[in-house]
């Protein structure tokens, strides 16, 4: 072979080698990136070429799929009682993507998860259509409906847990939206109704997981736990060293109570019964920031939770002076909590001090409901001893029997609770938030702990209270769980 031909051959060989390298680079190295590229229309077409798997509650699907009437994407998502379940499911949209369970469990629901490889391969030989797997939740349909109905016409959220396992039983947020209305092409007008930029009520916000509020007096349950755990007090019926009036440390102002209640040197039981700011503020100042922070973090504060949907971290601040710690210890100042967080606080107290990790996916299955993955209950922390937890239970049960939470009483069950009316806005200029946390127990233990927050802009300021607005909702949710337990 002469020299020019040899050069041409080498050049052609290099071109072939470059082509092989490029093909392998695209097919293997860049495969995942190209698959996720929003401009890859083929992936999107394949994604909606078959029916999506379902999200299931109480053995029944709350989702579905129907053939789209327009466009090149064959199927679109449908939802049963979509507005009620939106805080759980999120949405799966041909235009706007997916959120919450629809996003987190997308590989299972679309059938692309590696664990469904055998099902995909089998369908190639049998000619069956590709199918997605299913997500079986821990939710209690009756409890969810009670929460959703209780919030109608209001703005707020409900979170309910099984204290024994950490299973999420209800997760409601209001106002809400129907994910079906934004599932297909040409749903732009429906999207505008839930877009935060165009609708300040932000219906797509999951207030149970993603919105933090000042917890107000419901946080006094945490402060009571801290006082017992750190040995500041050990007898809930002995008088505390709580003068009235009590001046905030480093301040010229007194901390005031809401109403003329017997708060001077009140016992812990009486102080929680009548929500004495002076008693619990002084406890926070006496313990100091470090000890209060330790207890709050054992309950889950300052840490994001994944249930598996991400929940915003609740806040109890570090490095506060005594005045800041006192105000934070009554649920004001820098303290902020999600409804899920306050349900976790209540669940730990009801479960004799043991906090179970919250979760809402019980099982992942293939299309034939064979289990691919099952969630097992997991202990998260021990914020307080069983003995001290039972003392806080006694205090919370007094609140419901003869304190500010009497509207949560349930015949045939023992209910413990704590009301809260949380100030917000500059100089308390905005209408307060109404809170209620509670648990119910029978001879078989405590199957439910609930946190409710209501931001009712339409209510008269003097009518806003945790016992008045939030406690009846919590009662209905607890009753629904107890009825299922019978």
Q: Report whether 222 contacts 328 (CB < 8 A).
A: no
> What values do phi and psi take at 279, rounded to 5?
-65, -50
Which two tokens mark 19? 């082509």
Cα dist. 57→136, 170, 262, 277 in Å?
Answer: 6, 11, 47, 42
Q: Which helix (H) or strand (E) holds 31?
A: helix 31-36
- Nearest one of 446, 388, 455 to 417, comparing CA atoms: 446
Distance CA 14, CA 10 (A): 6
Q: Which helix (H) or strand (E) holds 98?
A: strand 97-98
Q: Report whether 105 contacts 210 (CB < 8 A).
A: no
The length of the chain is 486
Which two tokens mark 152? 């109608």
Which two tokens mark 109? 């629901």
Distance CA 125, CA 127 (A): 6
> What values do phi and psi take at 247, rounded to 5?
-85, 135
254-255 and 310-311 beta bridge pairing: unpaired
- The answer to whether residue 385 is catalytic is no
Distance CA 356, CA 368 (A): 31
Distance CA 131, CA 447 (A): 36
Q: Report whether 350 contacts 163 (CB < 8 A).
A: yes
- Nearest one of 218, 81, 170, 208 to 477, comparing CA atoms: 170
Distance CA 325, CA 331 (A): 10
Which two tokens mark 39? 């401009």
- Nearest one of 447, 451, 436, 438 to 483, comparing CA atoms: 447
- Omega before 277 within 30 of 0, i.e. cis: no
Q: Which residue matches tokens 């801290």?
A: 226
Q: What is the CA radius of gyration of the chain?
A: 27
Burial class (CB in 10 A: 0-12, 13-18, 19+), 187: middle
Which of 204, 217, 329, 446 is flagged as catalytic?
Answer: 217
Distance CA 213, CA 199 (A): 20
Q: Which residues of 238-273 are buried (b: 16+ CB within 10 A; e: fewer)?
A: eebebebebebbeeeeebebeeebebbbbbbbbbbb
Contacts of 59 (CB under 8 A, 6+ apart): none
* Residues labelled as active-site residues: 217
């Amino acid at each position: 072979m002469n020299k020019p031909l040899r050069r041409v051959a080498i050049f052609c060989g290099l071109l072939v080698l470059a082509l092989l390298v490029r093909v392998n680079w695209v097919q293997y190295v860049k495969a995942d990136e190209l698959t996720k590229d929003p401009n890859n229309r083929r992936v999107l077409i394949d994604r909606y070429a078959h029916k999506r798997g379902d999200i299931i509650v109480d053995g029944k699907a709350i989702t579905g799929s129907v053939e789209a009437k327009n466009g090149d994407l064959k199927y679109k998502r449908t939802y049963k009682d979509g507005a009620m379940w939106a805080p759980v499911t999120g949405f799966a949209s041909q235009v706007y993507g997916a959120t919450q369970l629809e996003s987190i469990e997308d590989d299972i629901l679309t059938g692309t998860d590696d664990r469904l490889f055998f099902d995909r391969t089998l369908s190639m030989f049998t000619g069956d259509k590709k199918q997605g797997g299913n997500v079986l939740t821990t939710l209690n349909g009756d409890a969810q409906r009670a929460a959703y109905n209780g919030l109608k016409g209001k703005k707020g959220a409900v979170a309910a847990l099984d204290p024994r396992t950490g299973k999420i039983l209800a997760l409601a947020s209001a106002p809400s939206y129907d994910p079906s209305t934004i599932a297909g092409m040409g749903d732009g007008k429906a999207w505008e109704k839930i877009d935060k930029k165009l609708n300040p009520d932000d219906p797509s916000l999951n207030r149970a997981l993603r919105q933090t509020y000042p917890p107000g007096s419901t946080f006094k349950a945490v402060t009571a736990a801290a006082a017992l755990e750190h040995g500041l007090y050990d007898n809930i019926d002995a008088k505390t060293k709580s003068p009235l009036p009590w001046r905030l440390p480093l301040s010229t102002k007194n901390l005031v109570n809401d109403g003329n209640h017997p708060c001077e040197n009140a016992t812990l039981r009486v102080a929680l019964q009548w929500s004495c700011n002076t008693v619990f503020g002084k406890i926070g100042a006496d313990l100091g920031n470090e000890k209060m922070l330790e207890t709050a973090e054992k309950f889950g504060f300052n840490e994001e939770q994944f249930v598996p949907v991400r929940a915003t971290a609740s806040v109890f601040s570090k490095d506060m002076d005594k005045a800041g710690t006192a105000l934070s210890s009554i649920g004001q100042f820098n303290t902020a909590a999600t409804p899920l967080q306050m349900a976790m606080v209540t669940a730990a107290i009801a479960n004799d001090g043991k906090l179970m990790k919250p979760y809402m996916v019980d099982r992942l299955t293939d299309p034939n409901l064979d289990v691919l993955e099952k969630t097992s209950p997991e202990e998260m922390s021990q914020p307080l001893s069983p003995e001290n937890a039972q003392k806080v239970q006694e205090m919370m049960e007094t609140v419901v029997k003869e304190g500010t939470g009497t509207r949560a009483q349930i015949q045939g069950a023992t209910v413990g609770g704590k009301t809260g009316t949380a100030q917000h806005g500059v100089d308390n200029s905005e209408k307060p938030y109404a809170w209620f946390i509670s648990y119910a127990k029978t001879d078989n233990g405590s199957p439910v702990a609930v946190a409710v927050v209501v931001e009712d802009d339409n209510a008269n300021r003097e009518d806003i209270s945790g016992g008045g607005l939030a406690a009846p909702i919590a009662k209905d949710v607890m009753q629904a769980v107890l009825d299922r337990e019978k």
